[in-house]
Amino acid sequence: MKSPSFTIGIEEEYMTVDPVTRELRSHIDAEMIEQGKLVLRERVKPEMHQCVVEVGTEICHNIAEARAEITTIRRHMVALAKANGLRLAAAATHPFSHWRNQSIYPDERYRTIVEDMQNVARANLIFGLHVHVGIEDRETAIHIMNAARYFLPHILALSTNSPFWLGDETGLRSYRCKVFDKFPRTNIPDYFQSYGEYESLVNLLIQTGCIDNAKKIWWDLRPHPTFSTIEFRICDLPMRLDETIALAALIQATVVMLWKLHSNNQGFRLYRRMLLMENKWRAVRYGINGKLIDFGKRVEVPFRDLMEEYFNMVAPVAEELGSLGEINYLRQILEEGTGADRQLKVFHETRDLKAVVDYIIQETEAGLN
């Protein structure tokens, strides 16, 4: 069996913030996007709300390339935001800005989505991290995706970075997930017996007018409609560049580990979506501070204990990929807390959501020099 390329692609969605009010503020008439394209070309593009900037790396062959790409992109976008009288901030929700005050980017695709989904789309003011891993054979991609679903709650928990919404402390570590839940065709997918079964589902949705193309299937993990990748879409956008890289390294190593099992005719046990969604809820609610269910043993297990098992599973593959150092950074997240934990710490110390925004901006710029 020919090995996939296992290339990496990373997409991040940043918010643009007024440095005085700390509110979200649109980059006017997308001028900042056009300025970004002069240097970064197609690696920067608008999103539905004009206070969102989406960036994406080129195809990267290893985690070192991915780090270099994201560092260059973040550094440039931070500088560009400042040049436009704004600040770049990396978190999955803004602590207090209201979606009603944000402009929609003038694009036919976004106009159609808003027309179709109304306030569900207008209120979707969230910021995510998407990681692509190259798997050229579509049949192989579906089988790897089936198995990788089990790890989605673990990956989400490590990325959690949205504890506030519209000025409220929500009690959740990833409120972004609950905002996005309102969209159709989201969350963890069920498994498919073959790529043909997946294609039949997509074709039925198109035939019945539910969607016009597979890009409107917004699952937490999906075969990308046009790229030869599987796309992990479950993560909150982390604050620190190092966190993004560590999560990308974990995702790539997980995919390679599962492919090795698949190529040896060994499988990872498949669980129904309903069970995996129980673990997703726990990750949304508690992040790294709760328990997930080990469905094989039928017991709850502290998240940190599960992560030790997970790290041990992927460590041999990570060593081969040269990404063990990046994955070990995740232990620092377990010690210091995720972005959500750290935002909450700042808020509980200051009782000031503007101070939380300042902290997010500071962390967004960390490690770029």
Contact present, 69 and 58 (Cβ < 8 Å):
yes
Kindly state the DSSP code that residue 24 receives in the 8-state scheme.
B
For the residues 354-366, what does the mean pLDDT come to?
A: 98
pLDDT at residue 166 is higher than 90: yes
Kindly report, residue by residue over 58-96, the tens digit of the pLDDT.
999 999 999 999 999 999 999 989 988 999 999 999 999
pLDDT at residue 37 is higher than 80: no
Q: Which two tokens stand for residue 150?
A: 């089990």
Q: What is the pLDDT of residue 233?
A: 98
Q: What is the pLDDT of residue 273?
A: 96
pLDDT at residue 257 is higher than 80: yes
Q: What is the pLDDT of residue 33?
A: 63
Q: What is the pLDDT of residue 115?
A: 83
38 pLDDT band, cuts 50/70/90, is low
Contact present, 44 and 77 (Cβ < 8 Å):
yes
* More confident of the two residues 267 and 180: 180
Kindly report, residue by residue over 320-338, the tens digit of the pLDDT.
999 999 999 999 999 999 9
Q: What is the pLDDT of residue 40?
A: 59
Kindly report, residue by residue over 182-216, the tens digit of the pLDDT.
999 999 999 999 999 999 999 999 999 999 999 99
Question: What's the rounded Cα separation, in Å, for the pair 342 and 230?
Answer: 30
The pair phi, psi for residue 133, each rounded to 5°, is -125, 130
Question: What's the rounded Cα separation, in Å, for the pair 109 and 97?
Answer: 24
Question: What's the rounded Cα separation, in Å, for the pair 86 and 27?
Answer: 8
For the residues 227-254, what does the mean pLDDT come to?
A: 98
In sequence order, what DSSP letters do the residues of 221-277 get, joined into one string?
EEE-SSSSEEEEEEEEPPSSHHHHHHHHHHHHHHHHHHHHHHHTT--PPP--HHHHH
Contact present, 9 and 229 (Cβ < 8 Å):
yes
For the residues 266-271, what does the mean pLDDT come to?
A: 87
- C-alpha distances in Å from residue 253, one per residue of 148, 183, 210, 259, 260: 11, 30, 35, 10, 11
Q: Are strands 299-302 and 291-294 parallel, antiparallel or unpaired?
A: antiparallel
pLDDT at residue 28 is higher than 60: no
Q: What is the pLDDT of residue 39?
A: 58
Lowest mean pLDDT across 22-26, 234-238, 249-253, 312-316: 22-26
Q: How many CB atoms lie within 10 A of CB 140?
A: 19
Please name the residue ranges forming H helices in the chain. 31-40, 63-83, 108-117, 119-122, 138-148, 152-159, 175-180, 195-207, 241-263, 273-286, 303-321, 324-336, 339-350, 353-364
Q: How many CB atoms lie within 10 A of CB 187?
A: 18
Average pLDDT, the chain: 93
Question: What's the rounded Cα separation, in Å, for the pair 114 and 202?
Answer: 22
Element of type H or E holding 293: strand 291-294
Question: What's the rounded Cα separation, in Å, for the pair 151 and 294?
Answer: 11
Domain boundaries, the chain: 8-364
Could you confirm whether domain 8-364 is CATH 3.30.590.20? yes
Contact present, 354 and 22 (Cβ < 8 Å):
yes
Question: What's the rounded Cα separation, in Å, for the pair 245 and 212?
Answer: 33
pLDDT at residue 42 is higher than 70: no
Angle value at C-alpha 121, between 218 and 189, nearest 5 degrees: 20
51 pLDDT band, cuts 50/70/90, is confident
pLDDT at residue 108 is higher than 90: no
Question: What's the rounded Cα separation, in Å, for the pair 204 and 224?
Answer: 18
- Cβ neighbours for 256, distance < 8 A, ≥ 6 positions apart: 6, 317, 320, 321
pTM for this one? 0.95
Q: What is the pLDDT of residue 32?
A: 63
